[in-house]
């Protein structure tokens, strides 16, 4: 049996805690950018595994529109776009405090446009941040 409660997870970007997630299965997604390496097998049946030096990864978060978190991230993204020289890359810390999963991202930058959609239903605001280095540790989880 496994348990998860998103309210018991913590996401911090540059010391600011993000809490205004949408109620979606993919409100937070952390992924490595590339495979760990490539395994090539020769005609003799023997192989060579070459590891990738690329340790980068991506954080994608979907937030409620008109939230303080959107305001904070929008200002940070605008600073990156208009004053890259004075922009401080983003540091990320994520922890699922119920199950023990943990992820740390270093030297992150916004990479995708942030669309502005409005209508007669809620529209998520999606931010995508790529990190030069990403480390994730998965745990067995509570009750396992």
Q: Give the rounded distance of the alpha carbon of 19 from its chain centre.
A: 14
Mean pLDDT of 102-117: 94
The pTM of the full predicted model, rounded to 2 decimals, is 0.92
- What is the SS3 assignment for 135? strand
Q: What percent of the chain has pLDDT over 90?
A: 85
- pLDDT of 2 reads 79
Instruction: Determine the Cα–Cα distance for residues 131 and 106; give it in Å rounded to an integer.
Output: 6
pLDDT digits (tens, 9 = 90+) for 25-66: 999 999 999 999 999 999 999 999 999 999 999 999 999 988
């Amino acid at each position: 049996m496994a348990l998860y409660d998103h309210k018991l997870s913590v996401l911090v970007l540059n010391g600011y805690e993000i809490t205004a997630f949408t109620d979606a299965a993919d409100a937070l997604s952390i992924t490595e950018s590339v495979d760990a390496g490539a395994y090539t097998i020769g005609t003799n049946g023997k192989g060579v595994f070459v590891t990738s030096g690329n340790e980068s990864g991506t954080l994608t978060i979907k937030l409620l529109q008109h939230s303080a978190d959107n305001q904070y991230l929008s200002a940070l993204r605008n600073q990156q776009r208009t004053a890259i020289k004075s922009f401080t890359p983003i540091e990320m810390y994520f922890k699922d405090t119920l199950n023990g999963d943990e992820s740390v991202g270093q030297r992150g930058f916004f990479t995708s446009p942030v669309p502005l959609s409005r209508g007669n239903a809620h529209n998520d605001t999606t931010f995508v941040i790529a990190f030069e280095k990403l480390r994730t540790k998965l745990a067995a989880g509570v009750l396992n």
